[in-house]
Amino acid sequence: MDLTLAEFSCFSVKSKQQILNYKAMYISSLALNNGDSLLLYSMNGQFITMQINQTTGKPVSVDTIVHKDMLYLFAENNELSGLLN
């Protein structure tokens, strides 16, 4: 069964990480200025980002709404045109 973004957003950050690792497709990552990593996932046709603290390896935040303009940040390293409908 697929989760909607509304259902997904009700989970804790740790649970969201587990769901992303199990059900989502990892696309790319970016290094942030503070040393953290921003990971981009696709799940059920939607894009989701997860910020990981590099020191602890734990998720800091999971954002379920990703604007298409933000995808261009990830497109510098990868070809994402096939993912954009």
d(CA 40, CA 10): 19
Q: Where is pLDDT greater, at 83 or 65?
A: 65
Q: Single out the residue of 68, 14, 74, 6 nearest to residue 39, CA to CA.
A: 74
pTM: 0.81
11-25 confidence digits (pLDDT tens): 999 999 999 999 999
pLDDT band with cut points at 50, 70 and 90 for residue 81? low
pLDDT value, residue 77: 62
26-78 confidence digits (pLDDT tens): 988 888 888 899 999 988 888 899 999 988 989 999 988 777 777 777 766 66
